[in-house]
Chains A and B, each alone.
Chain A
Amino acid sequence: MDIRAHVSMVFHLDKCIGCHTCSVACKNIWTDRKGTEYMWWNNVETKPGTGYPTQWEDQEKYKGGWEREEDGKIHLRLHDRAKGLSNIFYNPALPTIDDYYEPWTYDYENLFNAPEGDDQPTARAVSMITGKPMDNIEAGPNWDDDLGGSPVYAANDVNLDKLTEEEREQLAEIERVVFFYLPRICNHCLNPGCVAACPAGAIYKRGEDGIVLISQEKCRAWRMCISGCPYKKTYFNWSSGKSEKCILCFPRLESGQPPACFHSCVGRIRYLGVLLYDADMIEKSASVSDEELVAAQREMIMDPFDPEIIAAAKKNKISDAMIAAAQNSPVYKFVKKWQIALPLHAEFRTLPMLYYVPPMLPILAKTKDGTYDIEGLNQEGLPAMLSSLEKARMPIKYMASLFSAGNVKEVEAVYRKLIAVRIFKRAQKVKDYQQAEVTEALTQGQTNPDEVEAIFRLTSLPTYEERFVVPPLGRESAVEAWENPLERKTEAGFGVRNKIAKRKF
């Protein structure tokens, strides 16, 4: 047993309103530099939709993540060692800039400097790549924002391949069109494809918190990480000639603050906390069959209250404060205790450490003879919530494709529990559901009133401290293991210790 700590995340999709505040917060802090114009370390996608970069989930095209062979071993989809070497100057699976989008700004100065004329001056769009005016903007990082049912974008969502033709057509019908938001950041995976693909050994996972980082000194711009990451969350900076990615705002974490996208989230959908996991199980958990993937990943997460686990953690020099943070972790509750948060696209086998509580979409309703008709009312004329799962507008198979590697049972179990919470609280507050129906819902959801109350509380009324349990990372003392922080005191003053070689453009 090799217990390690990981700063992990939960996004509660029911609460996401798709406002992109997270993306803008991140952009303003990290990617407003030259060479990073097209990067969105945090982006919000509309689902069904093709996302950013276009159809990133289609690994037949992008060759990201891991593939399981028949003998149960996994290997990088991008290349083996020989192919990696022969392709080292020629990576054939890179997204083009067009698949991200051509970044642009506006010629605001013209609004002030335009000569007097008959027309109002306008601010034309200007490409941030060519510097020339862009009269025809064709794509953006959230081009299909809110475009549920679009025949171009929504219809080409890769996850829809699992549905029947009939189900797909229904999704495009007027009044049945449905969509939800999927905010994405780097998953800080336990078995990262980017790390495995990097020929320079520049990408690493921080020991104390599992944050995946790209060393700007070691990066040699092979760009294999961009292909290796199935989530397309590493990006190439054309100005510095180095790859970059979400750093989970580690400078903020180290000073006790949650990352900027978490902090700024309007819907308060984001939770951050520590998970203790067994690193010995990584290979095994990433190699099981698709159906078992979610369960296997859950199994790796260890109970932070178990004395045996605590002892093993201490043996690995995990601090008491970190263990305490793991015990208070909201992520542990969502993922392991209540089991209502699932990893995104577990079938990529990178063991992502960002989990999603799937959204409860409205139940199916349509107009019938000119009136709004809700199917399946119960005796009191109320929507039969228990059967609403079967009547969900978005087929459960679609959700399974996103959150459980196609295993419908896993997603169903999550929804049964979420429905139980909904019915229980409605019966409590509005008092229109019968006790029998509530009891039935609790049984179906394999839950109990105490758990329901706890889920309700952490979902709807969590405090700042409950959402973000940022452990003291102790980086300043960890550094002392290999470096004397006082070494240069009275010696050199300010300056960069190791000059970073940069390509100049």
Chain B
Amino acid sequence: MKVNGRRNSKNVFLGSMLTLLLAFLATAAPVAFAQPPAQASDGEALFKEKGCNACHTIGGGDLVGPDLQGVTERQDQAWLKQWILAPDQVLASGDPIAAELLKKYNNVPMPNLSLTPDQVDSLLAYLGGGATTGGAGAELPAGDATSGKAYFVGDKRFKNGGTQCMSCHSVAGIGALGGGNLGPDLTTSGFVQSSAAFASFMSAPSTQTMGAVWANTPLTPQEQADLYAFLSKASVQKREPSALLQIALLAIVGAAALIALANFYWGKRLRGVRKPMVERALAMKAKK
């Protein structure tokens, strides 16, 4: 039985390797062999599909990111291609242009959109073609910061069932313990520089996680407005140094309380019988 078992597992291994190889060929083949020329019309579709328009306009002014009109003339073609292909890598390599842009646009980094080189070519063709998009979206209606905070921490539910911001984001102004760590801390966030930019991004977020989370549960304009009102409040946009002290204090008090509780419940433990017994006997002898 043992012998059979080993032979079987060998067969399974070979089989799975073969399947993997076939799957690889199947996916690689169209890329490798079919190369249509870059088309500006493809680029336009991609611009919307990949959510570039969440942060950028062409000729409509800056939103979260810069206005892209004339970008193909402003920047070197090769640099642009590399930047759109893998902005995270360019940033990490310490590129001076990328660093300057990041600083200018409130430290909101351009996300890696997982484009293929062909798709980048199409996009560049579209951007260089002189097309324009509309301006920034309409300004949001007036929002209520209190209601925005309730949405953020989950006290109020979003109409379309979206999850509360606090599950993934932390921000000053929601208590010392803050929120989740999956997304960036929204204190001093570059997304709230203008309500138009915020609305544009939140209507169709282009980053991978946000895009997936909000694609089917979009926020209503009023919800966006309330959140914007909350996030752009001065007290939320700045983390007080005392908050750090608060967290430290909470951690120390919490740990002490847990240890005290554990000690109260589990403290009575048998800590040796022989040694105390012998010590007692010797002490009695010494007394005599």
A residues engaging B (CB < 8 A)?
50, 53-55, 58, 61-62, 86-87, 90, 92-96, 98-99, 138-139, 151-152, 155-156, 488, 491-492, 495
In the complex, residue of chain A having the shortest beta-carbon distance to the beta carbon of B277: A156
Q: Check A53 against B273 for contact (C-beta < 8 Å).
A: yes
Q: Check A92 against B277 for contact (C-beta < 8 Å).
A: no
17 sampled A-B residue pairs with Cβ under 8 A: A53-B273, A55-B274, A58-B273, A62-B270, A90-B269, A92-B266, A92-B268, A93-B269, A94-B270, A95-B270, A95-B273, A96-B270, A138-B278, A151-B281, A152-B282, A155-B281, A156-B281
Q: Check B273 against A54 for contact (C-beta < 8 Å).
A: yes
Given A90-B269, A94-B270: 6 more A-B contacts, CB < 8 Å: A55-B273, A95-B273, A99-B272, A151-B285, A156-B277, A488-B1
Q: Which residues of A contact B13 (CB under 8 A)?
A: none
Residues from 221 to 268 in B contacting A, C-beta threshold 8 Å: 265-266, 268
Q: Tell me if B275 is interfacial: C-beta within 8 Å of chain A.
A: yes
In the complex, residue of chain B having the shortest beta-carbon distance to the beta carbon of A86: B265
* CA–CA, A55 and B278, complex, Å: 12
Q: Tell me if B271 is interfacial: C-beta within 8 Å of chain A.
A: yes
Q: Check A152 against B277 for contact (C-beta < 8 Å).
A: yes
Contact with B274, one of A92, A139, A155 (Cβ below 8 angstroms):
A139
Q: Check B1 against A492 for contact (C-beta < 8 Å).
A: yes
Which bracket fits the contact residues of B?
A: 10 to 19
Q: Which residues of A contact B268 (CB under 8 A)?
A: 92
In the complex, residue of chain A having the shortest beta-carbon distance to the beta carbon of B265: A86
Residues from 39 to 82 in B contacting A, C-beta threshold 8 Å: none
In the complex, residue of chain A having the shortest beta-carbon distance to the beta carbon of B281: A152
* CA–CA, A94 and B1, complex, Å: 44
In the complex, residue of chain B having the shortest beta-carbon distance to the beta carbon of A92: B269
Q: Check B274 against A99 for contact (C-beta < 8 Å).
A: yes
Most buried by B among A86, A95, A152: A152
Contact with B277, one of A55, A492, A495 (Cβ below 8 angstroms):
A55
Q: Tell me if B2 is interfacial: C-beta within 8 Å of chain A.
A: yes
In the complex with contacts A87-B266, A492-B1, A96-B271 CB distance below 8 A: yes
* CA–CA, A129 and B270, complex, Å: 21
In the complex, residue of chain B having the shortest beta-carbon distance to the beta carbon of A90: B266
Q: Check A54 against B270 for contact (C-beta < 8 Å).
A: no
* CA–CA, A99 and B275, complex, Å: 8
* CA–CA, A92 and B268, complex, Å: 7
Q: Check A152 against B278 for contact (C-beta < 8 Å).
A: yes
Q: How far is the CB of A130 from chain B (nearest CB, A)?
A: 17
Q: Check B273 against A61 for contact (C-beta < 8 Å).
A: yes
In the complex, residue of chain B having the shortest beta-carbon distance to the beta carbon of A97: B272
In the complex, residue of chain A having the shortest beta-carbon distance to the beta carbon of B266: A90
Q: Check A99 against B273 for contact (C-beta < 8 Å).
A: yes
* CA–CA, A110 and B189, complex, Å: 74
Q: How far is the CB of A59 from chain B (nearest CB, A)?
A: 12
Q: Which residues of A contact B271 (CB under 8 A)?
A: 96
Q: How far is the CB of B207 from chain A (nearest CB, A)?
A: 42
Q: Check B272 against A98 for contact (C-beta < 8 Å).
A: yes
Q: Which residues of B contact A98 (CB under 8 A)?
A: 272, 274-275
Q: How far is the CB of B5 from chain A (nearest CB, A)?
A: 10
* CA–CA, A50 and B284, complex, Å: 18
Q: Check B277 against A54 for contact (C-beta < 8 Å).
A: yes
Q: Check A50 against B277 for contact (C-beta < 8 Å).
A: yes
In the complex, residue of chain A having the shortest beta-carbon distance to the beta carbon of B280: A156
Q: Which residues of A contact B270 (CB under 8 A)?
A: 61-62, 92-96
A-B pairs with the 8 shortest C-beta distances?
Answer: A54-B274, A152-B281, A92-B269, A96-B272, A54-B273, A99-B273, A90-B266, A99-B274
In the complex, residue of chain A having the shortest beta-carbon distance to the beta carbon of B3: A492
* CA–CA, A156 and B278, complex, Å: 9
